[in-house]
Structure 1
Amino acid sequence: MARGAIVSFRLGLSDGVSVVARLWQEMLADIGFDMVTVAGEGPVDRLIPGLGIGQLDGPDPDAFSAAVADVDLVVVENLCTIPLNLPAARTVARTLAGRPAILHHHDPPWQRERFASVTELPAHHSSWRHVVINRLTAEQFAQRGIETTVIYNGFDTHKPEGNRAAMRKELGVADETLLVAHPVRAIPRKNIPAAIAIAEAVGGAYWLMGQAEEGYGATLNRLLAEARCPVIHRPVARTPDIYAAADLVVFPSTWEGFGNPPVEAAIWRRPCVVGGYPVARELAEFGFRWFSPERLDEVQAFLDCPDAGLLDKNQAIACRHFSLERVRSDLVALLDDAGWRP
C-alpha cells in the first residue's frame, strides 16, 4: 500500500489547519494511502523536534528525512507557506525537492502585514502540486509564477444535530437567554471588540471559544471585563453542540484565509454576522445570505422573526458546494492528474 504523510508545525489540535489536515488525512486514507502524521507539536505518529511554531533552531535534517523516508506522497500543511519557522520550512523544502508532494497553503506571507517582507515563501519545486483555499490566493500565486489548484475547505454536511439543552446547561445559560457564539481563537484579526458590540446590541450573552494567542491575553482580559453583556469564555469539543446552543453566530474578522464558522453556521441552520474580509465576499458569491456588522437592524429583525427560508437556502448552498464529498472529488482529480493516485 502507498504511504502518505501529513506534515505541519502542529497536528491533532483544535486550530483551523489541524482540523482541515485531519479531514485530508481521512480522505487520503479512504482513497488508498496508509497515512502517518509528522509535526513538531501535537499527538502525532512521528514527532520531530524543531518543526513546531517558534522552534527556531529547526529540525535535524536527518531526523526529518528519516521520518518521511518510507513515504510516497507528502502533504505539507502551511509549514512551507507562512514563516512561523523558517529553518523548518527550508529543511522540509530541501528534503522534498524532486519528490511527490502537495503543498496545501492557508496563509501566504504577503497576506499578513507582519510577514510581508518575507519573500522566500511559499517554497516551490517543479515536482510539487500547490493547493490553495480560495481564488484570491490562487490569483496572488499566479502573479508570482506559481500554478495552483483551488480546493475550498470542506465540511461534514451529514453531522447529527447537537444537544442544545445539554450544552446550555453545561454553560450555565438559561433557555430564554440569547446566546451569541464566536467560535474563534482570540487574536487581533478576529475582531473581538466588534463581536462583543454585536452581542451588546442584540441583548445577548457573548460566548468566545478560543484562548488568547499572539500576545493578545492582556487586551482580551480587558475587553471581556469591560463588556456590557454577560460573557462566557470556554471551548467546546463537539462542533454540533456549539451551533445547537447558539442563537446567533458572529464572525466579524478583518482577515481570514477562509473562515469556517459562517459555512458551519449554514450547515447547522444558524444566522451569522460576517465581516467584510475579501474571502468572505468570495464565498458569498455562492449565494449565502449573511448579515453585516453594519446592519444590526437586519440582525435584530431576523431574531425577532426568524426566516426559515434564509436558513434553508444557506444550508443547501453549504451542502452543495462545501461538502467533504466535493473535497474528495477535487483531491482525486488532482491525484489522477499528477499520476499519484494509489
Structure 2
Amino acid sequence: MNVPDTVGHNIGFVGTRFAGTDGVSLEADKWAKVLWEHKHVSYWYGGKMDTDPDITSLVPHAYFGHPDIQWINRRIFGTTTRDPEVTRRIFALAEYLKHTLYEFTRRFNIEVMIVQNALCIPMNVPLGVAITMFIAETGFPTIAHHHDFYWERDRFSVNGINDLLSMAFPPTLPSIQHVTINLPGQADLSHRKGQSSILVPNVLNFEDPPINDDYPHSFKEDIGLSHEDFVILQPTRVVPRKGIEHAISLVNSLNNPKYKLVVTHESGDEGDEYMHALQEMAERQNVDIRFVADRVGEERGNDREGRKIYTLGDCYAAADFISYPSLYEGFGNALIEAFYFKKPILVNRYSIFVTDIEPKGFKVVTMDGYLTKDVVTQVRNLMEDGAYRQEVVEHNFELGKRFFSYSVLERKLRALVTNFTGMDDL
C-alpha cells in the first residue's frame, strides 16, 4: 500500500461488513477515499471484508450473518422477553468483541474511529454493545455514521432487547459525534435520544464524470435485446419496497413493444416470491422484463462461461430511462446515480426524496403512489424528445455536483475531524 507523503491521522472504520455493493460499504469507501486524499490512513474492522488484509482486522463474530449472531437474533425479535441464556451469550460475545476492538485500535494506532451503521440498527447486538462499552471505557473519539435506525424497520418493532437498544443503538456518550444521512433521521435522533447530529448525505464523485467508452455498447445485445430497443432500467434489488410493479405498469402504459424493463439486482436474502409475482404480472400485461443480475458485477470482465460482465455504471450507460418507484428509501442512491450518469428518471415521492432531495430543484418525473396519464406522458416526452432530455439531465448533473458531490463530503468530514483534533486536517 502506498502511504501519502505526509501522513495525517489513522482512521479506524468499524462495522459488521465492508464487502460487496451494499450502501454502507459503498459510502464507507467514499469516506475513506476523501480522507486518503487529505493524508489520513484508513484501517478496517469487521466480520466480512474485502479490504486489504494488511490494514484489516477480520473478526468473524462481528458479521451479522455469523451463526452465533443469527442464533441470538432468532430469539430476540418477535418476542417481548428473552431467555437468560440469550442475555448471557450477548454479553459474553460483547466482552470478546470489545477485547478485539482494543486490539484493533492498538495494532493500527487508531486515533479516530468511524462506526458505520453498527450503532443504529441491531443486526449484531453484541457488536453494538461491545462498541458502546469500548467507547464508554476509553472516551475514544468516535464518529457514528447512522444509515438506518431500528425504529424505522417493522422487523425490529417487537423485541426482547429494549434495554440494550436504549443503551447502544445509538449510545449517548460525550466522545461520539453522530452523523445522519437525511433530515427525518436527524430529527428522530434528536427527539428520541436528545442527540444532535451532522447531516452528511450520500454522495458521488461528480467532479470526476463517468468514463464514456464503448464497453457498454454490447449490453443490449448480450441480454437479448436489439439496439433499436429502449431500456427502462430498474437499478435495485428485487424486494417489495422497491415498487417494481409500478415499473411494469409504466412500460405497459407506454404501449410500445420496443420499451423493455431491465432489473439489475437479485432478490437477496428476502426470497424469490416477489420476483415470481413480478414475472407473472409482466406476462399478464405483455411487458418484456429482464432480470440480468447474472450479467452485472463489481468489475468488468467475464464469467466462468466466458460471458461479458458489466458494472452497474455500464448498465446506466446503456439505459434510456431510469425507473425508481420505491415505496421507502433511507436515502436513494439510485436517484443520485441517475443524475451522475445523466439519465432521466421516474421517482415515487418517498419521504426522504420529499424532505431532502426534491426541494433542491431537480427535474424528475414524480408519482404519488400510483401512475397517472400525466406521468406516462412525461416519461414518453423524455424518451422521445432528445433535446428536452439533454436539457433535463444536464440540469440535474449540475445540481448533483452542488449538493451531493465529494466536495460536499470533504467539507463535512473537515468539520468532524477538526472537532477531535483541533486542527484543520482536510
Determine the structure 2 residue equivalent to 1:289: 363
Per the alignment, residue 33 of structure 1 pairs with 40
Aligned to 1:177: 229
The equivalent of 2:353 in structure 1 is 280
How is 1:127-206 mapped onto 2 (pairs within 5 angstroms)? Answer: 127-144=175-192, 145-157=194-206, 158=208, 159-161=210-212, 163=214, 164-202=216-254, 203=256, 204-206=259-261
User: Which region of structure 1 is more displaced relative to structure 2, 310-319 or 289-298?
Assistant: 289-298
**Contact 1:161–1:268 (Cα < 8 Å) also in 2:** no
Q: Give the aligned residue type for 2:231.
A: L
> Structure 1 residue 169: deviation in Å?
3.4
Alpha-carbon separation, structure 2, partners of 1:208 and 1:81: 30
Structure 1 stretches lacking a partner, 5+ long: none
Partner of 1:47: 58
Residue in structure 2 matched with residue 269 of structure 1 by the alignment: 342
Cα displacement (A) at 1:190:
1.4
* 3-state SS in 2 of match to 1:273: strand
Q: Taking structure 2 as the reference length, what is the TM-score of the superposition?
A: 0.75
Residue 246 of structure 1 pairs with residue 257 of structure 2: no
Stretch of structure 1 that moved more, 113-122 or 82-91: 113-122
Q: Secondary structure at the match of 2:60?
A: coil
Q: 1:63 aligns with which of 80, 100, 104?
A: 100
The letter of the residue matching 1:232 is R
After superposition, give the CA deviation of every residue in 1:70-106 in whole Å (9 maximum; x if it has no partner): 3111111111111111111111221233101110010
CA shift digits 1:234-261 (9 cap, x unpaired): 2343343121101111111111111011
Q: Distance in 1 between matches of 2:236 and 2:134?
A: 34
- How far off is 1:217 after superposition? 1.6
For 1:14, the equivalent position in structure 2 comes to: 21
Q: What CA distance in whole angstroms lies between the structure 2 residues aligned with 1:216 and 1:223?
A: 13
The answer on 1:116 being equivalent to 2:165 is no
Find the structure with the greater CA-based Rg. Answer: 2
What is the rounded CA distance, in whole Å, between the counterparts of 1:162 and 1:230 in structure 2?
Answer: 27
**Residues 170 and 321 (structure 1 numbering): CA distance in 2 closer, same or farther, change over 3 Å?**
same
The answer to whether the aligner puts 1:334 opposite 2:416 as a matched pair is yes
The answer on whether the counterparts of 1:188 and 1:216 sit within 8 Å (CA) in structure 2 is no
Question: Which residue is 1:221 aligned to?
Answer: 276
Residues 92-107 of structure 1 aligned to structure 2 (within 5 Å):
92-97=131-136, 98-107=139-148
The amino acid of 1:51's aligned partner reads A
What TM-score does the superposition give when structure 1 sets the normalisation length?
Answer: 0.93
Contact preservation (8 Å) 1:12, 1:22: no
SS of structure 2 residue aligned to 1:285: helix
Name the SS for the 2:366 alignment partner.
coil
- Preserved contact between residue 11 and residue 43 of structure 1 (Cα < 8 Å): yes
Contact 1:162 1:241 survives alignment (8 Å)? no
Give the distance between the partners of 1:270 and 1:133, measured in 2 at CA: 24
Partner-residue secondary structure (3-state), 1:179? strand
- Once residues 173 and 267 of structure 2 are traced to their aligned partners in structure 1, the CA distance between those partners, rounded to angstroms, is 36
Bigger helix fraction: 2
Structure 2 counterpart of 1:231: 289
Whether the aligned pair in 2 keeps the contact of 1:79 and 1:89 (CA below 8 Å) is yes
Give how far 1:225 is off: 4.4
Runs of 4+ in structure 1 off by over 6 angstroms are none
Offset at 1:116?
A: 3.4
Q: Distance in 2 between matches of 1:292 and 1:162?
A: 31
Structure 2: gaps spanning 5 or more residues: 1-6, 73-92, 299-310
Cα distance in 1 for partners of 2:153, 2:123 equals 12
- Supply the RMSD in Å over aligned alpha carbons: 2.0
Q: CA deviation at 1:16?
A: 1.1
CA-CA distance at 1:177 after TM superposition: 0.9
1:288 to partner: Cα distance: 0.6
